[in-house]
Amino acid sequence: MSFQDPGDLLYEPPLREFTALAIVLGILVGLVMSLANVYLGLFAGMTVSASIPAAVISMGLLKGVFKRGTIHENNIVQTIASAGESLAAGIIFTMPALVIAGVWSDFDFWTTTLVSMTGGMLGVLFMIPLRRPMIVEDPDLIYPEGVACGKVLRAGEEGGAGMKMVFGALGLGALIKVLIDGVALLTAGLKTAVTIGSARIFAGIMASPALIAVGFIVGFNIATLVFLGGAISWFGAAPYLTATTEYLADGVVVSLDNPALEGLVKADVRFLGVGAMIVGGLWSIIQIRKGIAQGVRETFGSYRAAMDEKEPPKQNNQDMDRKWLLLLMAATMMVVLFLYFRVTDSMAVSALATPLMVICSFFFVAVASYIVGLVGSSNSPVSGMTICSVLLTSGVIALFGYSGEIAILATMGVAGVVCCATCTSGDVCQDLKTGNIVGATPFRQQWAEVIGVLSASFVMAPVLGLLHRGYGIGTDAHLDEAFQGNALEAPQAQLFASLMDGFFGATDLPWDLIAAGAVVGLAIIFIDQLVLLPKRSKFRLFLMPVAVGMYLPLGLSVAILVGGIIAWIAGRAHADPESRERGHEKGVLLSSGLIAGEAIAGVLIAIPMAAKIELPDMEGSISPWLTLVSVLVVASLLIRAGTSKN
């Protein structure tokens, strides 16, 4: 009897891994999840991970339809899919700002595509030398989403049932979206407004399955914070503004019962969120200052170790070949230089912006890689890092005397690449952790990340352009009704557009409202740090979710709160942690299907809307009641999935 190395046992006989079927399936699932996150991020300012839904869909299709599939093939599928999804999160926070600021009238295909591609590539490439020291060797970095996805892959026999749940929810989400925006049988939401003295108070809820699903995924604490932000703006600031401000339309004072008042108040209230977001972004960086230092130290140590390595590692611990790594890095940076010259038509600005981009990307990739290992991708302060890169870049650009559109293009070009790199690197960490758990080959998984980035990059501009032409992204024409249903808020992009207008444009920002939002943000930080943190409270006042809620219409934050309450109810229904985790996973699968279904239907409906084709209008007196029923159906299904003990 002979003994073999465990690594040899893993590859004798070899398991199918980097197969054509896995690659094609990964690209297709990745495109769907990318589309869903583009829509969701513009709609609600949040995105969701695609790893677990992609893994479940892959297992269901490979085993249920193709009657084949290994755990390594499933891992390649979720790796490609999640790379595209994370890229969507990076691009929607930045590129729409150029449309909102009026620099672009529509999304430029090659600029948007190259920003996506280069940012995503840098996120993958800068992360590769960090894999072994951070993911394999550091016991303090747990990468929670990667561990969770690894567990799902190992329990692959449940994939078929999970796939049915995802696709069933996808159909329901799509149906409700069609009934709302396609034929108007359902209303976009339920709303009301009351006048108390000289003040007007607005309330309501959006009838969006995706928003309720987001609330379930982010959980009770975050959902409550988003609602708290909405309450501060709409139950506090809005009544005060309506009581003390004369709003004019065509030179005429708008009365309290005029439907146009809500849109005018909303245009002011959102600047509270701008102030709070700026404070939240800076505070998030201050909070993780030790993690930043440690991440940068580990990064430089990892790069030195990678360059000094003499012996090639075994296959199951082998990264992308160093020659390919350096070649791809050099090519990506050359493309960035060409990109910046293309959009600014100035080699001087391009030569200034490119090194800024490289420095910011390298720095924030190191930070994100370390932070997501500690607290997970959902808690990574991507918005804060992007705000800091915007402030740094705009300061340097202004210092060299540039202003106007060229300065805005250069600043947002840097911010777009940095944000994509940061989002992608956090996802790469989780994927490589999953691969480490299931025994995947690192260099094959890293090439899968490259494929996911490249394939998803080409759909960003067409989807963004279609949604803008069909619904409008942050345009004044779509801000008259807070619950109109076809307005896409894009809160982070509107924040950056406002900052760019203030720094380089002719727009006078309402600094008093921005300052008031900053004061509210500071107050929230003080309460959290001086009251909740010393008591080790399970409920924390994290500022960024509150700031997003301050920016959004109240109806969106109420719908998110409903999902958070359902997650809390589901958690309370289970006595032991294992059943609670299984219930949460089922709720996440159902939620992911609802989000994807609504997003797909939303993009398809945008096609006739962009072509100015008049859609049917079936709205009647029963529509609000049917809308309420649709909300209750979604809520009851989520409760059933989350509380299930099967």
* Residues comprising the chain, all counted: 646
- What confidence score (pLDDT) does residue 510 get? 83
Task: Check residue 302 and give its pLDDT.
Answer: 55
- pLDDT one-digit tens code per residue, 508-519: 778 888 899 999
What does the alpha-carbon distance between residue 85 and residue 103 come to, in Å, rounded to a whole number?
26
Q: Taking the domains of the chain in order of start, what are their residue ranges?
A: 13-161+318-477, 164-285+487-643
* Residue 1 confidence (pLDDT): 36
How many beta carbons lie within 10 A of that of residue 358, not counting itself? 20
What's the pLDDT score for residue 333? 92
* Three-state secondary structure call for residue 335: helix
Distance of alpha carbon 115 from alpha carbon 355, whole angstroms? 15
Question: Nearest to residue 184, comparing CAs of 617, 605, 603?
Answer: 617
Which residues lie below 8 Å from residue 392, measured CB to CB, with a gap of 6+? 356, 360
In terms of Cβ atoms closer than 10 Å to its own Cβ (0-12, 13-18, 19+), residue 342 is: middle
Q: What confidence score (pLDDT) does residue 484 get?
A: 39
| pLDDT at residue number 7 | 41
CA distance 432 to 133: 12
Positions in the chain whose pLDDT score sits under 70: 1-15, 155-161, 288-316, 374-381, 384, 475-487, 505-507, 645-646
Q: How far apart are CA 606 and CA 599, in angstroms?
A: 11
DSSP of 476-508: GGG-S-TT-S--B--HHHHHHHHHHHHHHSS--
pLDDT for the residue 616: 87
* Structure confidence at residue 3 (pLDDT): 35
Note the pLDDT of residue 480: 38
